Structure 1
C-alpha cells in the first residue's frame, strides 16, 4: 500500500490525537524515516508520519537495511532531516557509518533518534558522539508509582513521565504548565553529560523512576531495583544543538511515537511528539540575524551613517545596532528579549553591555537592538561581537574586527583636567620667580653716610 493512500485513511484519527499544525521548516522539507519494516511502520507510526505530511514535509519511509539508502551524493545532502526509528538495526543503508551521520549533522542536517531496549551497538556509538550514553542492553525504564494503568495487568515499564525541563523554545505552554497530562514512555534510559553546554535533558525520570531489568518490574521491593540511573539523572529525552545550529533529539523509546501511546487515555504524547519534532526539524525557535551595523554616534543623522568604518579613535562614542527575527507558526516574528549583549574584546572583554530593543521601521518581523557605546581608552585591534546562546534557540555569533587608533597629535585636548594641579604649580613657580626678581631689582640698599666734617 502506498504511503499517501494509507496515511490518508487515517487522517481523521490522527487529527484528533495530534494538534493541527502547518509549520514549514526553514532548512528544507525532505525527511528520511528509517524503520525496521516499512509496512509495519506505516501502521505503528501512522499518526506521527501523517503529522509530518500535514506539516508540509516530503516523507520517505525506508527500511533500515535497504542498501540504496545514502545520505550524501557528491558531497550534497539528499535529505534535510533523518528520523531513526529502527533501534535494533545493526546496519543502516548502504553501509552507512557513524561518521556519515556526524557529517550529516555537520553539514546542517537534523536528526531524531529513537531507541529501545534492543538498541544496537552502532546507534550506541552514534549517541556517544553527542554526549548521550544509553544504559545496558536488556534494561528498561521502570516506575512502580507512575505507570500506564489499564484494565489488563498493569505494565510498570510503560512509565507515566511528567518531569519536563523548563525550555520554552522547545515545549509549548500547555506542557510547561504545572498540571499537564502524562507522557507515556516505554524504552531504555540514558545518561547525559551535563558538562556539554550544547546538550540539555528535556524529559527525565521522577524520584520513583529507575533503570533495571524488566524481570523485576513487578517486584518493587527487590534489591535489584537499586540502579545507578534513577530520578533526575535518568534521561528519557534529550536535545542537542550543534554549533552550526543543526539539531538532534535522542529519545529512549520508539513507542513514544507509536499510535498506541499517542492515543492512550490522558496521554500528552501527541503534543510532546509534535513539539520535539517541530524543534528538531527547525519549524520553530529558529533565531537569525538579519543585519548589524555600527558607526559614530555623531554621524547617526548624516547620510554617511550607513557606512561602517574600519577604525575608530579611543573613547569615541559609537552606535551599534543588530536586527533579530525568530521563526515559529510558519512566519518570522521580531525576537524580543532583554538579555542581548554587545562585547568589545581584545583578548579579554573590555566592554559588555545590554542592548535595548525597538521595533524595526522597515519590517514587522524584525526587532532592532541598539546601544550607544563609549569605546575604551585603549588602542588596538578589537572584536565587536554579539554572541547570543540560549537553550533551544539557534545561536547567534556576529563578529566584526575593528581597529581603535590612538589620538593624533592635534586631537588631544589643549588642557587636561587631571593636570590642573601641575599647571597651577607651574604658574605659582613663575609668579614666585618674578616676585623674587622684582624684589632683587627694586629693593636696593641706601647709600652710607659720610663721616667727614663739613667745611665752613
Structure 2
C-alpha cells in the first residue's frame, strides 16, 4: 500500500511538471512572453487596480494590453514564489514592486542567487523603489551585486532650488541617457522618491540624474550632515539601467512616478535592440569569393555588415547619426593592427528570397592587410549605453608572399640605382676589355713598324 501511494504521488508530481512544461511550450509557440509581477499584498491589491496608484494600475494594465504579456501576479510572501522550474526560467520578464517587509516567503526559490541566474539566463527585470517602503533584502543585495545602491527606507530626494510646493521638479536636463528616455511629458516631472549610488561597473549607466543642488536625506528640515545624506549633487541617480554582456536588461527607478512606457519598452527589449543581419569580407579584386579563410599580406580587403534596429514590432535600418555612435572594425592579432571606422553605404535588404524590403543599414570598410602573416580576427565590438551590444569575430589566416609573388627588381623604384650601377660596371668592364685587346695592340704594332 505504501509503495502504491508513493507511485501515485510521483505520478501526480510528474503530471504537474508536464502541465507546467506544456503551458510554457504552448505560450512560447504562440510567441507570448511570460511576465511575473511580485508585490506586497499589504501595500497593493493588484486584483483591484482602482485601489492602487495610477502609475501601478497603468503598469499592470499596460503589461497585458500594450505589451501583450501573459501576466502572473504573486506576493513576496507566497510559498510557491519561484523563478525556475527544473532549472529552466518560468518567465521572460520580472517586475518587482516595493514591499513593507524585508523577508521573502520562499527563500529557496526566490533569492539573490536566483535573480542573478535569471539575468544570466537572459531575463529582464524592472525594479520600483520609493522613499517610504523597502525592498526585500535579497532584492537589495542583488541590486548591490549589480552595482546599484538604493538609499535606505526614509531617505527621500530633496532639491530646494528646483522644487514646487516642496516637491522636486525634474527637467529634460536631468535625463542622462536620451536613447532610453527621450524626454518628460511637458519637459518637467514632479519627483517624489529616493535616490541611489552606482558603482563603476561599465555595464551600468544612469538614466535620470540628480541636479547639482539635489540630495537624498532622511532629515528634510534639519541640518544636513554626512550621516544624514545618502547621495549629494550629481553623484545621485533617480533611475539606473544595467545591460549584461548577454543583453539582459535591468532597470531601477526610485519612484512609481518614473514608471514610463519608454523605460518599460527598453527593459523588456521592445526598443533599442540591434541585430547584425549579415557580415561579409572579401578581396577587393575578387568580390565573388565571400568570407575567405585565407588572405595574403597587403591584400586590399572590403568588410561589409548590415545592422537593423527593432522598433514598432519590426526590423528597420539602423542609421548612425552621431560621431559617438560610430561603428568600428578592428583587424587584430592579439593587438589591433588596423582599426578603422565603418562608413555608411545606405539602407538595404537582408532577405535572400527576392524581397527588397529595406530592413537593414549597410556599412563598409576598405583597408589594406598589414605586412604581417599569422592568424588574424575581424572583430566588431559595438557597445553603447542604451543599445543592445553587437559582437562578431571572424578568424582568418594571413600568409606571406609566395616565391613567385615577390616584385622583380625592375618593379621596385628604389632598386633602379643598384641596377644602373651594376649595368655601368658591366659596361665599363666591356669598354676596358675592348680597349685593352684592340686599342692597345694597335699602338704596339705601329711602334714595331
Q: Give the TM-score range, shorter chain.
A: 0.7 to 0.9
- In the alignment, which of 352, 355, 359 is matched to residue 347 of structure 2? 359
In structure 2, relative to structure 1, the CA distance for the partners of 1:207 and 1:422 (3 Å cut) is same
In structure 2, relative to structure 1, the CA distance for the partners of 1:427 and 1:249 (3 Å cut) is same
Counterpart of 2:221 in structure 1 is 218
Deviates more, 1:307-316 or 1:114-123: 114-123
List aligned pairs for 1:411-430, cutoff 5 A: 411-415=405-409, 416-430=412-426
Counterpart of 2:235 in structure 1 is 233
Counterpart of 1:244 in structure 2 is 246
Distance 1:146 1:50 in 2: 33
Counterpart of 1:200 in structure 2 is 205
For residue 238 of structure 1, give the secondary structure of its aligned residue in structure 2: strand
Distance 2:377 2:114 in 1: 35
Question: How far did 1:298 drift?
Answer: 1.8
Counterpart of 1:53 in structure 2 is 64
Question: How far did 1:148 drift?
Answer: 5.3
List aligned pairs for 1:297-376, cutoff 5 A: 297-300=284-287, 302=288, 305=289, 307-337=290-320, 339-357=326-344, 358-361=346-349, 362-376=356-370
Counterpart of 2:385 in structure 1 is 391
Distance 1:450 1:318 in 2: 76
Distance 1:435 1:449 in 2: 23
Q: Which runs of 5+ in 2 are unaligned?
A: 1-30, 350-355
Distance 1:331 1:183 in 2: 34
Higher relative contact order (CA 8 A, sep 6+): 1
Counterpart of 1:406 in structure 2 is 400
List aligned pairs for 1:18-57, cutoff 5 A: 29-37=33-41, 40-41=45-46, 42=49, 43-44=51-52, 45-55=56-66, 56-57=68-69
Counterpart of 1:292 in structure 2 is 279
Question: How far did 1:400 drift?
Answer: 0.2
For residue 129 of structure 1, give the secondary structure of its aligned residue in structure 2: helix
Distance 2:402 2:417 in 1: 25
CA RMSD of aligned residues (A): 2.5
In structure 2, relative to structure 1, the CA distance for the partners of 1:164 and 1:87 (3 Å cut) is farther
Counterpart of 1:443 in structure 2 is 439
Question: How far did 1:166 drift?
Answer: 4.3
Question: How far did 1:119 drift?
Answer: 3.6
Distance 1:85 1:53 in 2: 17
Summarize deviations over 1:401-430 as a string: whole Å, max 9, x none: 000111111112223233233222322332
Deviates more, 1:291-300 or 1:225-234: 225-234
Aligned partners of 1:240 and 1:249 also within 8 Å = yes
Summarize deviations over 1:161-186 as a string: whole Å, max 9, x none: 334334232123x43x9x70214232
Q: Does 1:380 align with 2:374?
A: yes
Counterpart of 1:83 in structure 2 is 95
Deviates more, 1:354-363 or 1:331-340: 354-363
Q: Which runs of 5+ in 1 are unaligned?
A: 1-26, 150-155, 257-268, 452-456
Distance 1:122 1:450 in 2: 123
Counterpart of 1:10 in structure 2 is none
Per the normalisation by structure 2, the TM-score is 0.80
In structure 2, relative to structure 1, the CA distance for the partners of 1:450 and 1:417 (3 Å cut) is closer
- In the alignment, which of 165, 174, 178 is matched to residue 168 of structure 1? 178
Aligned partners of 1:344 and 1:382 also within 8 Å = yes
Higher helix share: 2
Q: Does 1:108 align with 2:122?
A: yes
In structure 2, relative to structure 1, the CA distance for the partners of 1:92 and 1:332 (3 Å cut) is farther
Question: How far did 1:218 drift?
Answer: 3.3
For residue 62 of structure 1, give the secondary structure of its aligned residue in structure 2: strand
Query: Which stretches of structure 1, 4 residues or more, deviate above 6 A after TM superposition?
Result: none
- In the alignment, which of 78, 99, 102 is matched to residue 113 of structure 2? 99
Per the normalisation by structure 1, the TM-score is 0.79
Distance 1:93 1:295 in 2: 59
Q: Does 1:180 align with 2:187?
A: yes
Deviates more, 1:231-240 or 1:48-57: 48-57
Aligned partners of 2:40 and 2:97 also within 8 Å = yes
Deviates more, 1:340-349 or 1:371-380: 371-380
Aligned partners of 1:87 and 1:116 also within 8 Å = no
Distance 2:210 2:276 in 1: 37
For residue 430 of structure 1, give the secondary structure of its aligned residue in structure 2: helix
Aligned partners of 2:177 and 2:206 also within 8 Å = no
Question: How far did 1:139 drift?
Answer: 2.3
Distance 1:450 1:180 in 2: 119
For residue 298 of structure 1, give the secondary structure of its aligned residue in structure 2: coil
Summarize deviations over 1:350-398 as a string: whole Å, max 9, x none: 1122222222144311112123332112111100021111110001001
Aligned partners of 1:144 and 1:217 also within 8 Å = no
